Amino acid sequence: MSSTPTTSPAQSPSSATFISASIGKKVLMAFSGIVALSFVVGHMLGNLQIFLGQERLNAYGESLQSLGAGLWVIRISLLLFFALHIWMGVKLKAENLKARPVRYKFNETVKASISSRTMIWSGTTILAFFVYHILHFTARTTDPRFLQLPLDMAGNYDIYSMIILGFENPVNAAVYIIAVGLLCTHISHGIYSMFQSLGLTSPSCNKTLHRFAHAVALILFLGFSAVPVGVITGALKLPKNPPSNNHLQSAQSLEPISIESGGES
Percent of the chain surpassing pLDDT 70: 69
Please report whether residue 262 resides in a domain: no
Q: Which residue has the higher pLDDT, 130 or 180?
A: 180
Residue 51: which domain range? 21-253
The number of domains in the chain is: 1
Quick: pLDDT tens for 44-64: 999 999 999 999 999 998 888
Please report whether residue 259 resides in a domain: no
Q: Is the full-model pTM beyond 0.85?
A: no
Instruction: State residue 174's pLDDT score.
Output: 93
Instruction: State residue 161's pLDDT score.
Output: 93
Please report whether residue 3 resides in a domain: no
Kindly indicate the confidence band of residue 27, based on its pLDDT and cuts at 50, 70 and 90: confident
Instruction: State residue 121's pLDDT score.
Output: 64
Q: Which residue has the higher pLDDT, 76 or 177?
A: 177
Please report whether residue 8 resides in a domain: no
Q: What is the C-alpha to C-alpha distance for residues 221 and 181, in angstroms, rounded to an integer?
A: 6
Q: Which residue has the higher pLDDT, 121 or 8?
A: 121
Please report whether residue 116 resides in a domain: yes
Residue 10 in this model has a pLDDT that exceeds 60: no
- The letter for the amino acid at 61 is G
Please report whether residue 7 resides in a domain: no
Instruction: State residue 52's pLDDT score.
Output: 95
Would you give the end-to-end CA distance of the chain in angstroms?
72
Q: What is the C-alpha to C-alpha distance for residues 44 and 222, in angstroms, rounded to an integer?
A: 10
User: For 71-75, 108-112, 138-142, 157-161, which range has the lowest pLDDT when averaged over its residues?
Assistant: 108-112
Please report whether residue 118 resides in a domain: yes
CATH code of the domain covering residue 144? 1.20.1300
Instruction: State residue 222's pLDDT score.
Output: 97
Which range, 9-23, 84-98, 177-191, has the best average confidence (pLDDT)?
177-191
Q: Which residue has the higher pLDDT, 162 or 15?
A: 162
Kindly indicate the confidence band of residue 250, based on its pLDDT and cuts at 50, 70 and 90: very low
Q: What is the C-alpha to C-alpha distance for residues 224 and 179, in angstroms, rounded to an integer?
A: 10
Closest by CA to 149, choosing from 18, 48, 58, 53, is: 58
Please report whether residue 68 resides in a domain: yes
